Amino acid sequence: MIEQLRAIVGPAHVLTDPDVTASYERDWTGRFGGRAAAVVRPANTDEVAAVLRACHEAGHAVVPQGGNTGLVGGGVPRQGEVVLSLRRLDAMEPVDTVAAQVTVGAGVTLAAVQQHVRARGFDVGVDFAARDSATIGGLVATNAGGERVLRYGMTRASVVGIEAVLADGSVVSRMHGLPKDNVGYDLASLVVGSEGTLAVVTRVRLRLVPLLTERVTALLAVDSTAAALALLAHLRACLSTLECAEVFYAAGVDLVCAATGRPHPFGTNHTHPAYVLIECAARHDPSDELMAALATVPDQAGVRDSAIAVAGPAREALWAYREHHTEAINRAGVPLKLDVAVPLAVFAAFEAELRATVAEVAPDAELHLFGHLNEGNLHVNILAAGDRAEALTEAVLTLTAGRGGSISAEHGVGVAKARWLPLCRGAADVAAMTSVKRALDPGGILNPGVLFA
């Protein structure tokens, strides 16, 4: 089969040397990975189709991979699969300024698309810290969320078309960018968020949003998660330009400052229980609107301090406290990473329960919480979990499901949470999902072990 793959993509693009394949075989947190039979790097959709046809005929499992920034083990091999790297599918078509859409290859990074469309006065509705490495195919496969969900929704809301290759090598395509197209099942939507288990995304047509050049960012120190939520509710009601509302806590700020050498946001002697980072964006300076909204925050609302930035570098300095969390945590060790969301009505109580649960199950572990406030989405990062990782996962996910939450808000189920799928999906749901999987991938070659344990 390796010979066949060499004939399809050229010998230079079938990698088997362990020194060369190593970076494709482990996720960047260092938590997940295994050996690959080979890493195959096709150049276009036809080559992807031919590779899948060959693997399908040989009954050989395939793990599709984009920028390898996933956090749930869904994009790295487990036991001898072929890694199908989509990075060479990096073509970008000119921006369709009339439709406000663009078609790009699955292997293009989010940052590259942003740069491409911003030059024409547009923007992508999705953004997050891993933008320089994460690829559009990966964003689509995981229905990535990020920092602008409040305004523009998850990746699914930005996708108007998909070209994808099914397990047997057949190509499905819906690339005309029709916002209205109700002809039968919406296969494109089904592929979004399917984590490489139903099809391999090769090209994507994205709906674009206007480029909002005027931005103002505010970092607010607050008493508690309850205060953070009350503040968000107030600002959301007053601000027509609100785009982001992120939350993080004292321990995370300490870690980020230690890792990056940055000063504490409001001075070393002023660490606060919780922090809310908000950003407003518009065509005209949104500062006045933000200032007016902040001026009407009630005195007893629990806001302790604030910093506001308009200029690019000053805004980036505020964002750094939020966006460096992942990297700072990783520097401290290999974390157990969970990604949960609960309804905002129970969010504050849940945060306290979560801390108590982790302390009870693993008293020596170090917990870091941060995330996307408006969606009730907390990234639960646990360092020094030791042999308690499994027990912690069980406890945190069970608590989350019990509060009406999701055990995977935006990172996907991957292999990390496959065992716990039934916590959030009933037997009929799982049966329907399994039927779809069997129908599209009868040989089970696409990303086995992901989503379904």
- Between residues 29 and 202, which has the closer beta carbon with respect to ligand MLT? 29
Can residue 129 be called a binding residue for ligand MLT (CB under 6 A)?
yes
Cα separation, 259 vs 279, whole angstroms: 24
Shortest CB 156 distance to ligand MLT, Å: 16
For position 160 contacting ligand MLT by CB under 6 A, the verdict is: no
What is the closest distance, in whole angstroms, from the C-beta atom of residue 255 to ligand MLT in the complex? 13
Output 51 or 397, the one with its CB closest to ligand MLT. Answer: 397
Shortest distance, position 172 Cβ to ligand MLT, whole Å: 29
Tokens 């693009």 correspond to what residue?
A: 13
DSSP 145-180: --S-HHHH-SGGGGEEEEEEEETTS-EEEE-S--S-
Q: How many residues line the site for ligand MLT (CB under 6 A)?
A: 4
Phi first, then psi, for residue 447 (nearest 5°) are 50, 55
Q: What is the distance, to the nearest Å, from the Cα of residue 302 to the centroid of all Cα atoms in its chain?
A: 31
Per CB under 6 A, does 368 bind ligand MLT? no
Min separation Cβ 237 and ligand MLT, Å:
25
Q: In 164-176, which positions are buried (b, 16+ CB within 10 angstroms) versus exposed (e)? A: bbbbbbebbebee
CB of 143 to ligand MLT, least distance (A): 13
Q: Which of 197, 265, 275, 210 is nearest to 241 (CA)?
A: 210
Q: Which is nearer to ligand MLT, 68 or 326 (CB)?
A: 326
**Of residues 95 and 383, the one with the C-beta less far from ligand MLT:** 383
For residue 217, the one-letter residue type is T
- Backbone angles phi and psi of 169, in degrees to 5: 95, 0
Q: Closest CB to ligand MLT among 70 and 302?
A: 70
Cα–Cα distance, 372 to 354 (Å, whole number): 16
When computed from its CA atoms, the radius of gyration of the chain, rounded to whole angstroms, is 22
- By CB under 6 A, residue 367 contacts ligand MLT: no
Q: Which is nearer to ligand MLT, 14 or 129 (CB)?
A: 129
Structure tokens at 220: 């607010």
Among 41, 174, 324, 379, binds ligand MLT (CB under 6 A): 379
128 binds ligand MLT (CB under 6 A): yes
Nearest to 289 by CA among 192, 215, 352, 191: 215
Q: What's the CA gap between 205 and 435, in Å, rounded?
A: 28
Cβ of residue 155: shortest distance to ligand MLT, in angstroms? 13
Does position 135 bind ligand MLT by CB under 6 A?
Answer: no
CB of 396 to ligand MLT, least distance (A): 14
- Of the candidate residues 326, 374, 393, 400, the single one contacting ligand MLT (CB under 6 A): 326
Binding site for ligand MLT (CB under 6 A): 128-129, 326, 379
